[in-house]
Amino acid sequence: MKQENLISRKNRHLNFFKKKLHDIGKNGLDDIFLNYSSLDFIYPEDVNLQCTFMNAQLGAPFFLASVTGGTPEGAAFNRKAAECAARLRLPMATGSLRALLENPDAFSTFDVNPHGELPLFFGNLGVASALQAGGRRIRHLCDALHMHGLFLYFNHAQEIAQPVAEHERVDPGSVPRFIEEFGAPVCIKETGMGFSPADLRMMKEWPIAAIDTAGCGGSNFLQVEASQGEFPFAREEIEHLVCTLGHPTAQVVREALPLGIPIIAGGGIRTGLDIARALALGASLASAAAPLVRAWHADPENGITAWVQSRIEQLRVILALCGTSSLEDFRNRHRALQK
Ligand X SMILES: Cc1cc2nc3c(=O)[nH]c(=O)nc-3n(C[C@H](O)[C@H](O)[C@H](O)COP(=O)(O)O)c2cc1C
Kindly list the residues in this chain that would bind ligand X in the complex (CB under 6 A): 13-14, 17, 65-68, 95-96, 124, 151, 153, 189, 191-192, 214, 218-219, 266-269, 288-290, 293
Residues in the chain: 339
- Considering beta carbons, is residue 218 or 303 the nearer one to ligand X? 218
Question: Is residue 67 within 8 Å of 36, Cβ to Cβ?
Answer: no
Amino acid found at 208: I
SS3 content of the chain, % helix, strand, coil (to 5): 50, 10, 40
Smallest distance from the beta carbon of 301 to ligand X, in angstroms? 19
Smallest distance from the beta carbon of 93 to ligand X, in angstroms? 7
Smallest distance from the beta carbon of 54 to ligand X, in angstroms? 18
d(CA 42, CA 58): 22
Give me the residue whose beta carbon is nearest to ligand X: 218
- Considering beta carbons, is residue 66 or 109 the nearer one to ligand X? 66
Question: Is residue 252 within 8 Å of 218, Cβ to Cβ?
Answer: no
- Considering beta carbons, is residue 175 or 322 the nearer one to ligand X? 175
Question: Is residue 216 within 8 Å of 242, Cβ to Cβ?
Answer: yes
Smallest distance from the beta carbon of 79 to ligand X, in angstroms? 16
- Considering beta carbons, is residue 212 or 255 the nearer one to ligand X? 212
Q: CA nearest 130: which of 139, 118, 119?
A: 139
Question: Is residue 241 within 8 Å of 233, Cβ to Cβ?
Answer: yes
Smallest distance from the beta carbon of 267 to ligand X, in angstroms? 5
Smallest distance from the beta carbon of 13 to ligand X, in angstroms? 4
Smallest distance from the beta carbon of 25 to ligand X, in angstroms? 11
Q: CA nearest 24: which of 233, 206, 319?
A: 233
Q: Sign of dihedral through CA atoms 25, 31, 37, 42?
A: negative
d(CA 225, CA 216): 16
- Considering beta carbons, is residue 68 or 113 the nearer one to ligand X? 68
CA 301 to chain centre: 22
Smallest distance from the beta carbon of 38 to ligand X, in angstroms? 33
d(CA 316, CA 325): 9
- Considering beta carbons, is residue 279 or 293 the nearer one to ligand X? 293
Q: Sign of dihedral through CA atoms 297, 303, 305, 309?
A: negative
- Considering beta carbons, is residue 54 or 321 the nearer one to ligand X? 54
CA 193 to chain centre: 12
d(CA 300, CA 75): 12
- Considering beta carbons, is residue 14 or 75 the nearer one to ligand X? 14
